[in-house]
A and B are shown apart, each in its own frame.
Chain A
């Protein structure tokens, strides 16, 4: 079993789990509680968010704390486009509106990703985290001042001034009003598949290797002719586009949505999904995004202590998955499957080393 087969198995398992989950959800849709049903689409959105942030944090190795900013750009541009199509052009077809809204949300977030990325990706480490954090907050505050309305076929945008003619779509700090709930679980499922295909295919290609090279060793990557800023930018913008698409789906799942929904803590939430799922591990991101999105709902019976219990559970999970005992357990589990493989590798390297590794 070589590295390529391993990757293929990992990718198949990831896709398989997602498809299986979708099928199971559809089969037992009738048996689900109301609150769980309501969670399905947000779970899809957060999975896409986690998978895309993993591309930035795990694959390109930059800490971004403004991912919710891209999500809100996608959400509000998606809502505006969908409302414009409905009120301006009388497009009644919900699927068409949803698809176009998601595409526009992705494109808008991508444009902002480029604009933010140009100055930001020249920074390194903590500075990048600080600037992306500020970006998320700026976006939220700017969206608090944006008004949009449709009159006839015309889209009217206003900044700070709320007195716009026609049908209001965006109402500043009161957010988007009278948006149809047109998001569907199937759309969420397809979006996850698209995000997975993009991220996994990107990672296992020339571009993905270049991105990982800049993460592992910037100086060596430059020395073999890899343009570090360009590849960090590719990862950043791809993640922004996916976040924007997830945002559009998220926005169209609610009848009202305020910019205050995408606060700093949402960015941190996504980061928690990524870290708990294992940095760089796409399947882990999916699982942790699912579990951690459902957890606050399942903890509803704790009422006021809900977030307290959530926090304690988070800490407990981090500790438990990281103790030597649990690590040994997981390694043993892996060992059962990998022992034969490892033996082959060692034998191969011994033969090829021609005894050259004697003094190591």
Chain B
């Protein structure tokens, strides 16, 4: 199965930075988009995330993987300030995120998609993107009520920007369709477009390929790279589809029981015995009991073949 992986970012040279992380060499002279130091959160004694250190370069595509319940989505919720960390700090573009709320996190350039799609399903596709543009193309409430010239000008700008963003995924003709009636894959794509509309510097994708067929996944991989190149932003993604993770992620971070167990490039991760153990169990047991748990089947195969 490894042959089917098309490594799109294989030529990236990764270099180490102080916080035990690696970032692409091209981002070295730029401010890292995200720096987590000793980040942690406890839910009544349960350490959901512990001592999470990670640096992401300005234009890096980073992967966050791990078995189910490892705390991947919790990390996203910490970064978008859904939860306030009980320990450690997060810096976005060099600004400490302490005390920010979700809205402030969005304004400072963190955008995300959700594992279970959260679109405004009664509204049209275009309106969904326009809501994403909320803080980008602004006009006041009274300009809207009184239909002042600012309203017409900014509405036109919103329309043009929305169409431009939708055209990334070839969805510009679907602007009037209610978002809820889109096919599943298109809903996932629309969520990415809406996140992009907030003009982020870091795009967090929570299982973007979930429920997609291999053809769609291939297309998504190309599009993620296209987005990174076009907007010059960093992308961090949680994904169980190892084809996608190994294919486009430059730096990969493996989480298990809330702790980082490995960081490195795709090749390093695939040959890391600790990662294989996390996915398959100890080697001794793996030999006796060949069938891996169903939800870790995909990553297991990948890791085992490395």
Interface set of A (CB-CB < 8 Å, partner B)? 2-3, 197-198, 201-202, 204-210, 212-213, 216-217, 219-227, 234, 345, 348-349, 351-354, 356-360
B118 within 8 A of A: yes
Hey, which chain B residues are within 8 Å of A351, CB to CB? 173
> Are B213 and A359 within 8 A (Cβ)?
yes
Q: Is B120 an interface residue (CB 8 A)?
A: yes
Which B residues touch A198, using CB under 8 A? Answer: 145
List residues of chain B with CB within 8 A of the CB of A349.
173-174, 177, 182-183, 186
Complex Cα gap A303–B192 (Å): 62
CB of A212 within 8 A of CB of B185, answer no
- Chain B residues contacting A197 (CB-CB under 8 Å) are 145
Residues of B in contact with A (beta carbons under 8 Å apart): 80, 82, 101-103, 106-107, 111-112, 114, 118-124, 126-127, 130-132, 134-135, 137-139, 141, 143-147, 151, 154-155, 158, 170-177, 182-186, 194-195, 197-198, 213, 215-216, 219
Contact yes or no, A210 B134, CB < 8 A: yes
A213, B131: Cβ atoms closer than 8 Å: yes
B residues less than 8 Å from A213 (CB atoms): 120, 123, 131, 134
Please report the C-alpha to C-alpha distance between residue A205 and residue B144 in the assembled complex, in whole angstroms. Answer: 5
Bound complex: CA A213 to CA B166 (Å): 19
Q: Which residue of B lies closest to A358 (CB)?
A: B213
From B114, B158, B171, give the contact of A220 (CB < 8 A).
B114
- Taking the nearest CB of chain A, how far is it from the CB of B240, in angstroms? 17
Q: Taking CB as reference atom, which chain A residue is nearest B197?
A: A224
Q: Are A352 and B174 in contact (CB under 8 A)?
A: yes
Distance between A117 CB and nearest chain B CB, rounded to angstroms: 15
Known contacts: A217-B119, A360-B183. The answer to whether A224 contacts B216 by CB under 8 A is: no
Known: A205-B151, A360-B183. A223 touches B111 (CB 8 A): yes
Q: Which residues of A contact B118 (CB under 8 A)?
A: 217, 219-220, 223
Tell me which of A201, A224, A353, A359 contacts B145 (CB under 8 A). A201
Partner of B141, one of A207, A222, A358: A207
Beta-carbon contact of B111 and A212 below 8 Å? no
Determine whether the beta carbon of A224 is less than 8 Å from that of B123. Answer: no
B260 to A: closest C-beta gap in Å: 25
User: What A residues does B158 contact at CB under 8 A?
Assistant: 206
Q: Which of A3, A217, A222 contacts B124 (CB 8 A)?
A: A3
> What's the Cα separation between A2 and B111 when bound, in Å?
29
Question: Which of A217, A220, A223, A353 has its CB near the most chain B CB atoms (within 10 A)?
Answer: A223
A224 to B191, CA, bound (A): 11
Residues in A whose Cβ lies below 8 Å from that of B101: 222
> Do residues A212 and B183 form an inter-chain contact, with CB atoms below 8 A?
no
Report chain A residues within 8 Å CB of B145: 197-198, 201-202, 205
**B215 to A223, Cβ gap below 8 A?**
no
Chain A residues, CB < 8 A from B146: 201
A220-B114, A225-B198, A352-B174 known; A201 and B147 CB under 8 Å?
A: yes
Is B141 a contact of A348 with CB atoms below 8 Å?
A: no
Q: Which of A225, A354, A357 contacts B134 (CB 8 A)?
A: A225
Q: Given A209-B127, A352-B170, is A357 in contact with B186 using a C-beta cutoff of 8 Å?
A: yes
Known interface pairs A209-B130, A222-B102, A360-B183; 14 further A-B residue pairs with C-beta atoms within 8 A, sorted by A's residue number: A2-B176, A3-B176, A205-B145, A206-B137, A209-B134, A216-B120, A216-B123, A217-B118, A223-B118, A345-B176, A349-B182, A352-B171, A356-B215, A357-B186
Give Cα distance in the complex from A223 to B192, angstroms.
12
Contact: B144 with A201, CB < 8 Å? yes
Chain B nearest CB: distance from A6 CB in Å?
8
Shortest C-beta distance, A206 to chain B (Å), equals 6
